[in-house]
Structure 1
């Protein structure tokens, strides 16, 4: 047996290395990612579908007041994903943002569940022609639950689909595009089924068994969502955040501000340039931006 200069044979060196490296990502991670988003949809949509009735009957809010509360909750839930996506891409990565969003959503549902469990969390006195309005503490508890769930949605919704694509992105695989299309199809199909199940099953449970069980089921589903997602964490591909995105955006803003005083040259000016494949040789009224030869 021949030996190398270091006294270790090639055969011995091979035995010291793992025979196969466990590849992360792939289809094995899909059940954990899809279940996280699907169970979050079941839990959140199930709460929203019957929330107007809950606010009217339990908090004695008028139709307009209940509608305003739900509108603000929905608006905040649709805004926070912008912040969550930016935080994931620029700083923390999608995995961490999804984990934090899931845990925050669970905490918000727990707070909402307490409003159904404890009678003192809601106004109690209701006479034939008058019902007591909720006090500041009761409203604070209710709004805290909505805010927490909206923040949690900002961590889950913008990152789940992209995080799933991270697991399947493999440029060396000739069938990679087909695999991604299959994942997207199953992802959106699961979301649609989740919404249908949530609108039917969760509302039926609330009507049949009351608010304590009706709110407890979404909490249990959200906890299950968090557990399943964390179970699959050893197999995930985790793409780190790229802080240069913020730097690039800042440069664009600064450059635009510095060039705010530039004037558009005449249409026949030789300062206009265009690519060889461009069909536009002169500025149009629809697009007034321009590039100079010294840009």
Structure 2
């Protein structure tokens, strides 16, 4: 034990010495550059992708949208895998580096599909679909490989950039460290939003006016700059050692609770529960009591050495409470998935905008895929107004500080999403009737005189729904979870977005299969003037209303975590009893 302590002390001394020489603010510009260029490159490919698949790969709207939804699902799910690998095996630097390289490979593959004629079906007249050939299996393989590489790469970069930047902040002054972290977080989110805005405006504009070769080539260059800017500062970075991840800790609780399922729970308040070394003695909460068996000290644990040698024998009370906190929020989390399903309908508005008058002046028109710009702007405007105007005004009216509860904001976001769907259905109904009146029933490429600015309200309301619900979700998880689980908030939202993309794909395919046949086009036909997308929007609206009721029930049933019972005056003091870190 003494030798072990000397070794640990030596390692800590070396680590502190290394940290003095490395890290600091000088490394942050390289990390921010990596994040910003990656955002511009990756998000610049998404808005117009449905047009590329329809025109160059001769896909139907349903198939093209399903491919994009599955790609989005993979891109949202893999960061959870990336975070686990970074925390448990690879470390954050190596995970970001490998993710950047793999993303670059995916973008190069996608760019090659624009440069090599044989990797796509031959050109044809889209107004005569019978002349258009479908892609071959090899052509599909190259396209899907590009999407797969980009999703895997995003899984390495996105969950680690913010945490890796925070690792570089080095100061013993807690107040100064918090101030520097706040500054870094502000710059990080500002650069990320700026990157997305550049992607959905400048990159989309280039694709529309200079073609796919240039439009897909620029993201390749930007991703190369992103990777290079990150790697060039390698000697300066402070790289934390890999530790056991929270995922491993949660698996331990499940395993030990199952292994001890036949053990009766003790009635004792203090001595029968396993706590961390030098921590206040606590007992677990009474909800989900079967999990308490994971932190029960039974007769088999008669020596602390046995516990210290095998971390899968017994868990701490903190580990058990972390898993309980996660299980408790699952109903509320699931009630917010429908909002992501509604907001994942990003492909059809692009087709809508292409068929409407997008001119701002006689010489300039908004790119069809750039209307999502109004979604991003509405999020930014709400965040600023809420913090700087709405809360101060309400506080002044009430004569005391006012705080709008997180669950109320989350519910308001769901309501905004429903209103956005209703407006979308009405606008599409009007647009289609005008297109038919103008003789464009068989010409989905025809542009009507109706202004595309009528699409702005639904985008603004979608952004407001995101600002209220998604930001509220992250705040809710952060306040309800123990501090050791603060990184789980974003992971939970991304997991929900992944499920939402898969559900949206399943819903789209089901509607397409059920509504076509007998010589009729489906509700989601590629010919938007023969389709009935307004009915699809009404269906989403009805499902969202049912989901709102489900959310109200989940919100009413949810009870905030009350914390663990602390047994005053008692501490665990036996050295070596600690069962690993839950971070």
Q: How would you bin the TM-score normalised by the shorter chain?
A: 0.7 to 0.9
- In the aligned structure 2, how far is the partner of 1:126 from the partner of 1:149? 29
1:208 maps to 209
Root mean square deviation of aligned Cα: 2.7
Contact 2:261–2:290, Cα closer than 8 Å, also in 1: no
2:237 maps to 236
Task: Spell out structure 1 runs of 4+ moving beyond 3 A.
Answer: 243-251, 261-265, 270-278, 280-284, 286-295
Distance 1:175 1:261, change over 3 A: same
Contact 2:257–2:292, Cα closer than 8 Å, also in 1: no
2:84 maps to 86
TM-score, length-scaled by structure 1: 0.83
Contact 2:253–2:291, Cα closer than 8 Å, also in 1: no
Question: 1:110 is matched with which residue: 108, 111, 119?
Answer: 108
Superposed, 1:168-179 pairs within 5 Å as: 168-172=169-173, 174-179=175-180
More displaced 10-residue stretch of structure 1: 138-147 or 247-256: 247-256
Distance 1:294 1:234, change over 3 A: closer
Distance 1:168 1:262, change over 3 A: same
User: Which consecutive residues of structure 1, in runs of 5 or more, have no partner in the other structure?
Assistant: 1-20
2:29 maps to 31
1:38-59 CA-to-partner distances (Å, cap 9, x unmatched) read 1111001000111011101110
Distance 1:242 1:132, change over 3 A: same
2:41 counterpart of 1:40: no
RCO comparison, higher one (Cα < 8 Å, 6+) = 1
2:196 maps to 195
Contact 1:90–1:245, Cα closer than 8 Å, also in 2: no
The aligned length equals 269
1:224 maps to 225
Q: Aligned to 2:261, what secondary structure does the other structure show?
A: coil
Distance 1:32 1:61, change over 3 A: same
- In the aligned structure 1, how far is the partner of 2:98 from the partner of 2:285? 51
Measured after TM superposition, the shift of residue 147 of structure 1 is: 0.3
Contact 2:32–2:188, Cα closer than 8 Å, also in 1: yes
- In the aligned structure 2, how far is the partner of 1:282 from the partner of 1:242? 27
More displaced 10-residue stretch of structure 1: 173-182 or 154-163: 173-182
Question: 1:51 is matched with which residue: 49, 52, 58?
Answer: 49
Contact 1:90–1:246, Cα closer than 8 Å, also in 2: no
TM-score, length-scaled by structure 2: 0.43
Contact 2:90–2:242, Cα closer than 8 Å, also in 1: yes
